[in-house]
């Protein structure tokens, strides 16, 4: 495999994936690199795995090349695992993460703060069975927004082993502990075997 297309327009996600796969001789491309138009994929799955597979399969059919898609989000136990698969659309697509993050902090006053980031990855290679990986990063919802790194819910996700939020971690720390990093490590091993 020479090229891997990532079914995402999220620059933060692309940066993390490129960093984790840089040692393998595979060019990681975004959808913008290979498609002239923006494709709006309806994520109709009820799980992260289903949504990742929907995204990867849709793009793989169009480009007829290996495609990696990830569906990830935040599950907050006291909110019945919300925002979950609706993490990006939580409180409305155009709502800023500052507002989403503050809403979650406020909703957890005097409640259990356990939460996790979930990352499901689907690798679709035309003519082969899809490969699906799911990993988590267990933590707590912080009582305030903290940190400048990362994106999305990173500033409110407190990771006890590092005693900081995900948004306070360096890229090196994140690539050791994050849900996406763990899934990418498994993917890395699979891709290395294929090489």
151, 184, 185: which is closest to 69 by C-alpha?
184
Report the alpha-carbon distance of residue 167 to residue 152 in Å, rounded.
9
Please check if 71 is assigned to a binding site. yes
Please check if 186 is assigned to a binding site. no
DSSP H helices in the chain: 11-21, 31-34, 48-63, 97-107, 171-177, 179-194
Please check if 73 is assigned to a binding site. no
Tokens matching residue 32: 């913008």
Catalytic residue among 71, 106, 110, 195: 71
Report the alpha-carbon distance of residue 22 to residue 161 in Å, rounded.
26
Please check if 180 is assigned to a binding site. yes
User: Parallel, antiparallel, or unpaired: how do β-strands 164-165 and 131-141 relate?
Assistant: unpaired
3-state secondary structure of 44: coil
Tokens matching residue 41: 């994929």
Please check if 70 is assigned to a binding site. no
**Roughly what angle, to the nearest 10 degrees, separates helices 179-194 and 11-21?**
50
Please check if 11 is assigned to a binding site. yes
**Annotated catalytic residue 71:** yes
Please check if 151 is assigned to a binding site. yes
> CB count, 10 Å around CB of 1?
14
Please check if 16 is assigned to a binding site. no
Please check if 51 is assigned to a binding site. no
Please check if 13 is assigned to a binding site. yes
Q: Write out the catalytic residue numbers.
A: 71
Binding-site residues for substrate sit at: 8-13, 72, 151-154, 174, 179-180
Binding-site residues for Mg(2+) sit at: 42, 71
Binding-site residues sit at: 8-13, 42, 71-72, 151-154, 174, 179-180
């Amino acid at each position: 495999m020479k090229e891997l297309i990532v079914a995402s327009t999220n620059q933060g996600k692309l940066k993390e994936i490129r960093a984790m796969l840089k040692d393998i001789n595979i060019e990681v491309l975004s959808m913008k690199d290979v498609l002239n138009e923006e494709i709006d994929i309806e994520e109709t799955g009820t799980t992260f795995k289903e949504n990742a597979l929907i995204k990867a399969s849709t793009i793989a059919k169009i480009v007829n090349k290996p495609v990696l898609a990830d569906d990830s989000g935040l599950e907050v136990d006291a909110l019945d695992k919300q925002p979950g698969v609706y993490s990006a659309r939580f409180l409305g697509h155009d709502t800023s993460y500052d507002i989403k993050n503050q809403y979650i902090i406020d909703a957890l006053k005097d409640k259990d703060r356990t939460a996790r980031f979930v990352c499901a990855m689907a690798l679709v290679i035309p003519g082969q069975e899809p490969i699906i990986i799911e990993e988590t990063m267990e933590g707590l919802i912080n009582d305030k927004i903290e940190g400048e790194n990362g994106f999305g819910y990173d500033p409110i996700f407190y990771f006890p082993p590092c005693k900081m939020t995900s948004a306070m971690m360096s890229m090196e720390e994140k690539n050791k502990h994050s849900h996406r990093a763990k899934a990418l490590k498994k993917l890395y091993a699979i891709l290395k075997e294929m090489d």
